[in-house]
Amino acid sequence: MGIDPSDVESLEPPDGGVGLSATVERGTAGVRVMVEGELDYASAPRLREVVAGLNSARAQEVELDLTGLTFLDLQGVRMLVEVRRTVEQAGGHLRLYGAGRQPRWFARLVGLEKLLDVDDGDGHRSKRDP
**Architecture (CATH level 2) of domain 3-126:** 2-Layer Sandwich (3.30)
What b-and-e string marks burial along 93-118, b requiring 16 or more CB atoms within 10 Å of the CB? ebbbbbbbeebbebbeeeebbebbbb
> What is the per-residue pLDDT for 18?
57
Q: Which of 86, 13, 85, 79 is nearest to 54 (CA)?
A: 86
- Residue 40 binned pLDDT confidence (cut-offs 50, 70, 90): very high
CA distance 101 to 24: 23
Region class of 16: left (phi > 0), else alpha (psi between -120 and 50), else beta: left
pTM (two decimals):
0.79
Residues paired with 11 in a beta bridge? 22
Over residues 20-31, the mean pLDDT reads 88
The full set of domain ranges for the chain reads 3-126
CB 27 within 8 A of CB 4: yes
> Is 4 a residue whose pLDDT tops 60?
no
- Residue 128 binned pLDDT confidence (cut-offs 50, 70, 90): low
Average pLDDT along the chain: 80
User: What's the pLDDT tens digit per position in 62-114?
Assistant: 999 999 999 999 999 999 999 999 888 888 899 999 888 888 888 889 988 88
